[in-house]
Structure 1
């Protein structure tokens, strides 16, 4: 049974295993990993986890709640809830997530999106913007299962994206 947890240094080895499976890239949106983050060493990993924890308590538009999707002793994905209406939120959405390749098509993204929508509801958010690559049919189905209403399809610096709004009080799954 999966759980959402706050990022933890205790899961260093499990996270590294997931990261290696993914390979480099921006597809790990839910992890909040920046190109400048040094996660190749335990000290760098500890600094990164500390940065994620600080982002979860910041005030205003910079706040972001990071969660890891864990099943047993495996980190199977990450999901982030961005608060506010910053330029970043307007570009990439309130919610970003990723599931490691070996754990896809098992319903984990749908489950995690439902769990983070519940967290958004608890935080007082009325609706959330979720953005995915237009060709990512798995994410399209996941978002639509939770009542996502397509706002637009736009060309971005990373490719064509679908923009959905979800009313957090009306989750469809």
Structure 2
């Protein structure tokens, strides 16, 4: 059964295969290129950086905030990722939000995005985020449905981005609202 896990080098082969399914994501998720991604040492450094990004003190590129990245996996298969940003910059407030998610193309339309997103809400709550700002493109009907089904309340639209506030305190498996 799929679950959220901390990034781990044991998912290297599956992660590389997932990136092959949607090459444009390599630069976005990995902040590098496919050639270096296949190197186990480079991948191990990437995993270490993702884990370090959770700490306020860790160095990061300008404009980036501390964040918890978790991988949605089934056994040894990498299916996707969730990123919970610990706070918002002005840019993230407009178009990025607290939570971002991506599911590899071969695993889409199987309920993984819904399940992974819902599993991330209690994590956001534990980080002191309630509600969480989540954005999606106006033409991404699947993401809109996922966000709205989790209780997301539409606030506004900035360009093509729809902005929703999603409660994290009563997200099913998370801490009870009080």
What stretches of structure 1 move > 6 A for 4+ residues in a row? none
Deviates more, 1:62-71 or 1:119-128: 119-128
Match of 2:61 in 1: none
Match of 2:80 in 1: 77
Aligned partner (choices 28, 31, 35) of residue 34 of structure 1: 31
SS of residue matched to 1:126: coil
Aligned partner (choices 41, 64, 82) of residue 43 of structure 1: 41
Question: How far does residue 167 in structure 1 lie from its aligned partner after superposition?
Answer: 1.6
Structure 1 36/51 Cα, relative in aligned 2: closer, same or farther at 3 Å? Answer: farther
- Superposition CA RMSD, Å: 2.4
Deviates more, 1:51-60 or 1:68-77: 51-60
User: Which ranges in structure 2 are unaligned for 5 or more consecutive residues?
Assistant: 59-63, 174-178
State the alpha-carbon separation in 1 of the partners of residues 76 and 152 from structure 2.
31
Indicate conservation of the 8 Å contact 1:146/1:172, yes or no: no
State the alpha-carbon separation in 1 of the partners of residues 56 and 163 from structure 2.
26
After superposition, residues 23-172 of structure 1 pair within 5 angstroms as: 23-25=23-25, 32-35=29-32, 38-58=36-56, 62-90=65-93, 91-155=95-159, 160-171=160-171
State the alpha-carbon separation in 1 of the partners of residues 50 and 133 from structure 2.
21
TM-score, L = length of structure 2: 0.83
Match of 1:5 in 2: 5
Indicate conservation of the 8 Å contact 1:145/1:172, yes or no: no
State the alpha-carbon separation in 2 of the partners of residues 75 and 25 from structure 1.
14
